[in-house]
Amino acid sequence: MDVKKFGTLYMKLMCLVLCLTCCRHVDNSKQNASSDTLSCQLDTLSNSILAQDDGHFKAYMTPSPLIMDGCSKDDIWSRVDWYDMNYVWMGEPVDSVDYHGKFKLAWDKHYLYVLVEVFDDHLNPTLDNGIDNYWKGDYVEVFIDEDRSGGDHKFNHQAFAYHVSSEGHAIDKSTSEQTIFLDDHVTVARSQEGNKYLWEMAIQLYNKDFDEKATDNVPVEILKNKHIGFSIAYGDNDGNNSRENFMGSKQSHGQNNDEGYTNSSVFGSILFLE
């Protein structure tokens, strides 16, 4: 073979090998970067956002328990729609830069799962020790009436109004009219990217027989077609030692839109479906 021709062919082959190697390296780098960037995000364009004036929602069953990591990685979250959480219950209408919220629902027989996405330009912790003024920091409030019977629940457990604080506590009132932690009812994890916060929760359902002084309370098992009372809201504190806005999941929540913490008849609902 002609040495000159062989040299030319060899150089062409080497260039082709180097080009292919370089391309593979770039593709892998992009894939890894994309995976890292999206690990705690949802594709917010993949699902519609449903506004329910009457506050009646549907939750779909997940075939396996979810991992509470605040990163929304479980498959069910990519398959269910967002619900709107922007009805003004207290305060003035807000710019979406200041606050915008939405949530998703899922379930298995042990837990109601809730994923909340909030854009908040100022996330403020619970004031004082997490008990005093617990409703004045930024928090997600989840209202649960296990048998959907309605009625007063201010100082009893006919229903619950869990104030889920930025520190991860679930706070409500006791039968002795004290403010207490019910942290074993709600497991919560939170992640942040800029002004976007994901709150991921696994909530056990307890009925009106719950005894805060007992150690043998048994959560209620969730079954297909079960109906519970439910609402959800976000208390927004912009740093003024007070709650400026209270934004909820349905158009009306009782008198002055502030009746939910005492009266479960104003709650919306969840229907559990497969």
> pLDDT tens across 91-117, in order?
988 888 789 999 999 999 999 999 999
Tens digits of pLDDT across the chain (274 residues): 444 444 444 444 444 433 333 332 222 222 222 223 334 654 444 468 999 999 999 999 999 999 999 999 899 999 999 999 999 999 988 888 789 999 999 999 999 999 999 999 888 777 666 777 788 889 999 999 999 999 999 999 999 999 999 889 999 999 999 999 999 999 999 999 999 999 999 999 999 999 999 999 999 999 999 999 999 999 988 767 777 889 999 999 999 999 999 999 999 999 999 9
> What pLDDT does 127 receive?
60
Q: Are strands 112-120 and 268-273 parallel, antiparallel or unpaired?
A: unpaired
Please state, in angstroms and rounded to a whole number, the distance separating the CA atoms of residues 169 and 171.
6
Spatial neighbors of 206 by CB under 8 A, at least 6 apart, are 146, 157, 160, 185, 217, 219, 220
Q: Cβ distance 42 to 72 under 8 Å?
A: yes
Please state, in angstroms and rounded to a whole number, the distance separating the CA atoms of residues 255 and 141.
17
Please state, in angstroms and rounded to a whole number, the distance separating the CA atoms of residues 190 and 140.
11
Please state, in angstroms and rounded to a whole number, the distance separating the CA atoms of residues 269 and 58.
8
Which one-letter DSSP state was computed for residue 128?
T
Q: What is the pTM of this model?
A: 0.83
Q: Cβ distance 267 to 248 under 8 Å?
A: no
With b for 16 or more beta-carbon neighbours within 10 A and e for fewer, the 207-233 pattern comes to beebeeeeeebebbebeeebebbbbbb
Question: Could you write out the DSSP letters of every residue in 160-184?
Answer: EEEEEETTS-EEEE-TTS-EEE-TT
> What pLDDT does 129 receive?
64
Q: Which residue has the tokens 């307890």?
A: 206
Residues 140-173 pLDDT 10s: 999 999 999 999 999 999 999 999 998 899 999 9
Helix H or strand E encompassing 224:
none
